[in-house]
Amino acid sequence: MSAMLPVALAATLTRQAAAQLAGDAEKTLYEAAKKEGQLTWYTAHYSAETAEKMAAAFMRKYPGIKVNVVRTTAHVAYQRLTQELKAGGPQVDVLGSTDISHYLELKSKGLLEKYIPVNAATVLEPLRNVDPDGYHHITSLGVIGITYNKNKVKAEDLPKSWPDLVDPKWKNQVSVGHPAFSGYVGIWVLTMTKMYGWSYFEKLEKGKPQIGRSIQDTLTMLKAGERSVAAGSVATAIEAAAKGDPLGWIYPSDGTVVIVATQGIIKGCKNLNAAKLFQEWSLSEDASKTMVEDYGEPLHASVPPKGGTPLKDLKQLILKPEEILKGVPEIKEKWRDTFGS
């Protein structure tokens, strides 16, 4: 036992030294960022309200650095960045797009700044190393499960897995979004195709689902009583239920579809140190706690979700960026052929 004490003590001191080193590095980065005084963040990850809350939380922790928030869609953010680059230089420092292809294209053109935040190692293991080279990192996620109207579905009749949605008993009762209009829906469709083949959607078509555009349209249909069950956003269902809507949610036994969104620093940005500090914070527990306030999914095991099941306790279905880039355009074509629109 006594022979082991020096080893244990050394390990403790090493951890303390590592923590001190991280603290010193953060302080140095913060001081450099304060000299820049600001950063501009284009984000499609959150609602405008949540994005402002995230920025405010960062500014509380790091006084002296202003976050200029531009909340827009992924397409508009990318289009704006492209125009800025053509005009001579980016106005944005940090880009948060929900379209993974944006990062793959920017990376291939050398337009992303490589930066691996210390906090990247603290998030849930499945969320690490989405880009092994460290050019962009997962900073936001959502989960798609089966959502339902409690007033229309009895507990004993609830679907338990994804194939249950294409059971003939749910004919004229299912709501889904459209993969040509929603990135979330595109990834859900691709995941189902990978698991069950396109025959899954041929069966779904026979059930005459109500098809919206956004994945949020499915919950609108459920709340209105137009449909009974849906492939929908669990977080949105939880938030709606907390406000009194008769909505429930199920994590399917064959897996919950996890949608990840990444964030990266633009090469040649004006406020590089502030951008790096913002990336560090975006992967911190503080950021996860802020997201959870608005029913977002936390990135850390230490931060429980608001009303839902922790990601670590779910069977997760996560596609690789390359699969999404190749597969989504293909399933959009198949969708049009099968559903006629």
DSSP secondary structure of 178-244: -TTT-HHHHHHHHHHHHHH-THHHHHHHHT--EE-SSTHHHHHHHHTTS-SEEEEEHHHHHHHHHTT
pLDDT (0 to 100) of residue 289: 97
**Total tally of structural domains belonging to the chain:** 2
How many whole angstroms separate alpha carbon 63 and alpha carbon 92? 20
pLDDT (0 to 100) of residue 21: 43
Same domain for 206 and 331, yes or no, is yes
The 10 Å CB-count burial string (b at 16+, else e) for 279-314 is bbbbbbbbbbbbbbebbbbbbbbebebbebeebeeb
| Token pair belonging to 17 | 């030294």
In terms of residue numbers, what domain contains 184? Answer: 142-258+321-339
pLDDT (0 to 100) of residue 277: 98
Residue 96 buriedness (CB in 10 A; 0-12 / 13-18 / 19+):
buried
pLDDT (0 to 100) of residue 22: 65
Provide the CB-side half-sphere exposure for 134 (13 A, CA).
12
Percent of the chain with pLDDT over 90: 84
Same domain for 202 and 177, yes or no, is yes
Same domain for 28 and 151, yes or no, is no
Same domain for 194 and 214, yes or no, is yes
pLDDT (0 to 100) of residue 338: 97
CATH of the domain at 334: 3.40.190.10
**Per the domain annotation, does 1 fall within a domain?**
no
Supply angle C-alpha 45, 46, 48, rounded to 5.
135
How many whole angstroms separate alpha carbon 98 and alpha carbon 45? 6
Question: Residue-wise pLDDT tens for the chain (341 aa)?
Answer: 334 444 444 444 444 444 444 678 899 999 999 999 999 999 999 889 999 999 999 999 999 999 999 998 888 999 999 999 999 899 999 999 988 889 999 999 999 999 999 999 999 999 999 999 999 999 999 999 999 999 999 999 999 999 999 999 999 999 999 998 888 899 999 999 999 999 999 999 999 999 998 888 999 999 999 999 999 999 999 999 999 999 999 999 999 999 999 999 999 999 999 999 999 999 999 999 999 999 999 999 999 999 999 999 999 999 999 899 999 999 999 999 999 98
pLDDT (0 to 100) of residue 16: 47
Closest Cα to residue 338, out of 196, 161, 189, 221?
189
| Token pair belonging to 49 | 């309200």
Same domain for 204 and 330, yes or no, is yes
Model-level pTM? 0.84
pLDDT (0 to 100) of residue 14: 42
How many whole angstroms separate alpha carbon 128 and alpha carbon 181? 28
Same domain for 42 and 123, yes or no, is yes
Chain segment 225-236, per-residue pLDDT in tens: 999 999 999 999
How many whole angstroms separate alpha carbon 178 and alpha carbon 180? 6
**Per the domain annotation, does 228 fall within a domain?**
yes
pLDDT (0 to 100) of residue 127: 95
**Per the domain annotation, does 330 fall within a domain?**
yes
Same domain for 176 and 231, yes or no, is yes
How many whole angstroms separate alpha carbon 120 and alpha carbon 217? 33
Residue with tokens 């293991």: 125
**Per the domain annotation, does 2 fall within a domain?**
no
How many whole angstroms separate alpha carbon 145 and alpha carbon 250? 6
The kind and range of the H/E element at 278 are helix 272-282
Please tell me whether residue 134 adopts helix, strand or coil conformation.
Answer: coil
Same domain for 165 and 33, yes or no, is no
Chain segment 61-113, per-residue pLDDT in tens: 999 999 999 998 888 999 999 999 999 899 999 999 988 889 999 999 999 99
Residue 8 buriedness (CB in 10 A; 0-12 / 13-18 / 19+):
exposed
**Do 226 and 148 touch, CB atoms closer than 8 A?**
no
